[in-house]
Structure 1
């Protein structure tokens, strides 16, 4: 928001709404009360000194309400362009024109924002930073800032690109860069100690020396399988912290047709597995699979890393492919990753987060991605350096996947 104000050459004002539960914080107090003050909107305008600042309302999703009123309702007048030219503050007792102000609000989630208030805003969803973006931020901003704060020159501490990538992948897991900034500070402190104690005159951080400075890696990331396997398919998942690969494993056991799903799957993902299972049953003869396999065998579908909750429909074609592979004995190519929702008739429906999923596939060493035809338009959002190294295969039906 500060950068927007700088670009527009306007003044910038910020107020935090986290935990605000008193309507008077927005509209002000009436002058009859001792210690009465104008509301924070009028105070912000006074601080700006202009009628058209960029006004940031931070953490609007964390507003509260109690017996003193509902500040979210008071904000309806502030954010409604048809009303805010006559904004009323109890302290000023005169209408104030806010129509020239550019209001920007921030929120981690829209679920807690009252619907009437949300209707008065244009919602712009901003995805988390990609791995490449985090690398550039660390090179151009975080590390130079920490070097300056710790009194280290560039000639005293150098961190190569491979070491930065290792820190991003194995020591942080986040949408932003707060923890990455902390790790940069940790490296600077350790380096400063080594230099001050006389152990070293200069510290060069490489992937091999990262563990000596930051300890053992805290996170792992998915990698492509080393060989083609039967009943194991690499899927692509999207989380709040970015994309990741997701292996789906299927095992066929003697039994009476029981379908077991494990790996802490959510309801939507379980329904995707059921849809994939029903689709395979309806088309079994076309893939030389015993049409009565479900009467003689139990099927177990497992998604590893069972401690991590998983949900969403985008693993539909992944589970269907793993089922066909396990039942037919045909191995799946190790360099292929896939994502897409499946219907009972085998249609492949669009998914979200293709950019993040593609970056995770590239990081894992995959070379081919199977995606829904309707997501073909999203390929342009993927960085060119990654796009050039991946082969994208758009599909409309499960038959094309197999």
Structure 2
């Protein structure tokens, strides 16, 4: 007779399996499972429970679910506050999925009942007794199953039900329980269980032995601790200071002699007491000892005596640095104020400038001039707040932050502390180190600086902090507000020439085993080296080229047995090869549609030619030369201004309907941007459209408005140097930049004529050749 096939909802189970006659609670949260449960409650409260093959799957497919499971009745259902549903189910009988009817909103399956297959009665009786005996032994070893479970199981007379109940109590994997569930033959099921319980007993027995070993080991450790305490007492009675007792006494003496603040001393002595009680083998012992070592190594009261002598400081700055007059003056003012007030609660200096201009060496010179220790900490690439504030001692490998590490290295409470590359700090999920720097650099807060490792407040108010940066735009506003910016814009060619002769060349001669008599470099050769083999605001590249010259000379002296090498303008190429860079030179003739602008780059000033051509078309404006957004907007503004003033500028008023205009800035591969090309573009446009030539020896810089007003710009000093190098004679500048002329070196100022202008009409008057 064929068995009845019924259609019921399916509830896939994760990490759990339900046997027939078993009653337990289940938490249901997945949408399909909730839908299946609701359908079951609307029908006859029966649902089919089958385990998933993989626990990790959130949305299992039919192939991911075991075919054999248990038909169960839902006795109780309760909605929990977190959205899940808790149900009480009772297993009825085994079943096998014959077909998945629907799996859209919920799983609907057709199942067939699987009846138990009984064997010989006396065989089943013998297996039942063996199974109960094994289960009793298992209960004695296992802590997970209670003794009451044995009483429950002992009263069961049906062998199939007994096997199922015992299987549900065992700590087995879902796969092993599934194997038992799939066995229809009762005798085979009981045999399988006897084998599994036997294996579990062996594992539990082994666990018990391991536990006893651990207990013995702990008892041994406690015994050793007791004996050590006795030994300490005996040593104390005998007056011996050996072992940890002697060590702690020495630590106490050092702490009392260290001149720590009273609150820190109390903490240190308390930690010594803890250190004394903790066993030497404990990890806590090394952590406490490390902490005490740091407290003892930090300078709490030691300081060097300031010798602020303005004349001496000025001599040191002039000896070690050529040029930088404004910067030196500001540093001397700073030191003078410190001497008068006898206090360092002033602004934090931040030296800003391109790489290689001497920011770090300036900070070192400040330390030398005031007779203080010098400490440098590089902040480039620091992303973790703990790098500044330190790690808490609960972490493995905890240590103080870089500020406290620097103070330990300084060994005094009043060093000159250089925070190098402060603009290179960034942040990530571990915190923002620039925010931690706010406390360090605030004179009102840093007297109680808190490091996570030290925990006690540390006084940084006597430290003279000096920061360096390449670009202030990347420094957060609040941090920038705590510092006074001193700009180092770079060196002129004349300054570089002096630096090379007085500082760099003697240093490289010494490092390469040469003397002044063996290598002589003429001034014209040095100037060519600076112009055509380096392009930088600082002098690092120049020093590398001089080092290369020294190496070449050393080789010539050794291999060719020459006594002296003289480097001239012509012989420079033989030693260093073809020039690496070229610099802009002014046009040889007056040009129509080409104006010379002045540019400020990261490596100093240079000239920038802007070319304009026009041809028959419909007024299309084309911009090329890899221009940034600001320069493109300047071009649009110049174009609009010329359209509005066409008649007055003697240009065909309908030019924008007759011609297409192309503005190009040569060197298209180099990105260009900045708000100072407006008047240059306007002049080039007027020249092209009116046919009037632009004077070849005139350079210009300034932004333009739609009304023709000329707005101020930055970097006038560097732009003037670039113009001077290119051979220009006249520079047109915004009238608001007149005040910056005094910053330009006298040797450059003498050769250039500066024309301040306020309107584009004035620019055209001076820039265009008269008709």
Q: Fold conserved (TM > 0.5)? A: yes
Find the residue that maps to 1:227 and give its secondary structure.
coil
Aligned to 2:507: 145
In 2, the alpha carbon distance for the partners of 1:29 and 1:274 equals 55
Aligned to 1:162: 524
State which drifts further: 14-23 or 74-83.
14-23
Shift of 1:105: 1.6
Find the residue that maps to 2:515 and give its secondary structure.
coil
Find the residue that maps to 2:647 and give its secondary structure.
helix
Q: Does 1:343 align with 2:705?
A: yes
In 1, the alpha carbon distance for the partners of 2:400 and 2:525 equals 52
Q: Does 1:354 align with 2:716?
A: yes
Tell me if structure 2 keeps the 8 A contact 1:128–1:240.
no
Find the residue that maps to 1:311 and give its secondary structure.
coil
Aligned to 2:735: 373
In 2, the alpha carbon distance for the partners of 1:33 and 1:320 equals 64
Choose which of 50, 71, 74 in structure 1 pairs with 2:436: 74
Q: Does 1:110 align with 2:462?
A: no
Shift of 1:268: 0.6
In 1, the alpha carbon distance for the partners of 2:691 and 2:616 equals 16
Q: Does 1:182 align with 2:548?
A: no
Q: Does 1:240 align with 2:602?
A: yes
Choose which of 489, 498, 507 in structure 2 pairs with 1:127: 489
1:22-60 deviations in Å (ceiling 9; x for gaps): 433333344556655433322322332332211111122
Find the residue that maps to 1:122 and give its secondary structure.
strand
Shift of 1:92: 3.1
Find the residue that maps to 2:530 and give its secondary structure.
helix
Find the residue that maps to 1:190 and give its secondary structure.
helix
Distance verdict in 2 for CA 1:294–1:17, change over 3 Å = same
Choose which of 80, 92, 100 in structure 1 pairs with 2:462: 100
Shift of 1:17: 1.9
Higher relative contact order (CA 8 A, sep 6+): 1
Shift of 1:103: 1.1
In 1, the alpha carbon distance for the partners of 2:534 and 2:729 equals 25
Choose which of 37, 41, 63 in structure 1 pairs with 2:403: 41
Q: Does 1:322 align with 2:684?
A: yes
Shift of 1:7: 2.3
Q: How does 1:3-42 map to 2 (within 5 A)?
A: 3-31=365-393, 36-42=398-404
- Count of equivalent residues: 402
Tell me if structure 2 keeps the 8 A contact 1:284–1:291.
yes
Find the residue that maps to 2:469 and give its secondary structure.
coil
In 2, the alpha carbon distance for the partners of 1:177 and 1:336 equals 29
In 2, the alpha carbon distance for the partners of 1:65 and 1:301 equals 42
Aligned to 2:618: 256
Contiguous gaps of at least 5 residues in structure 2 = 1-362, 765-771
In 2, the alpha carbon distance for the partners of 1:33 and 1:343 equals 59
State which drifts further: 290-299 or 33-42.
33-42
Distance verdict in 2 for CA 1:70–1:341, change over 3 Å = closer
Choose which of 569, 576, 597 in structure 2 pairs with 1:214: 576
In 1, the alpha carbon distance for the partners of 2:620 and 2:542 equals 46
1:87-123 deviations in Å (ceiling 9; x for gaps): 1223333212111211112222334433333333233
In 2, the alpha carbon distance for the partners of 1:160 and 1:166 equals 10
Shift of 1:300: 1.0
Length-normalised TM-score, structure 1: 0.95
In 1, the alpha carbon distance for the partners of 2:677 and 2:559 equals 53
Distance verdict in 2 for CA 1:23–1:324, change over 3 Å = closer
In 1, the alpha carbon distance for the partners of 2:395 and 2:577 equals 58
In 2, the alpha carbon distance for the partners of 1:29 and 1:251 equals 64
Aligned to 1:224: 586
Find the residue that maps to 2:614 and give its secondary structure.
strand
Aligned to 1:302: 664
Distance verdict in 2 for CA 1:271–1:36, change over 3 Å = closer
State which drifts further: 39-48 or 21-30.
21-30
Find the residue that maps to 2:732 and give its secondary structure.
strand
Find the residue that maps to 2:718 and give its secondary structure.
helix
1:268-292 deviations in Å (ceiling 9; x for gaps): 1011111111111111111221111
Specify the structure having the higher radius of gyration (Cα): 2
Choose which of 21, 35, 50 in structure 1 pairs with 2:412: 50
In 1, the alpha carbon distance for the partners of 2:702 and 2:533 equals 30
In 2, the alpha carbon distance for the partners of 1:321 and 1:145 equals 48
Tell me if structure 2 keeps the 8 A contact 1:273–1:319.
yes
Distance verdict in 2 for CA 1:368–1:89, change over 3 Å = same
State which drifts further: 213-222 or 120-129.
120-129
Tell me if structure 2 keeps the 8 A contact 1:250–1:323.
yes
Q: Does 1:401 align with 2:739?
A: no
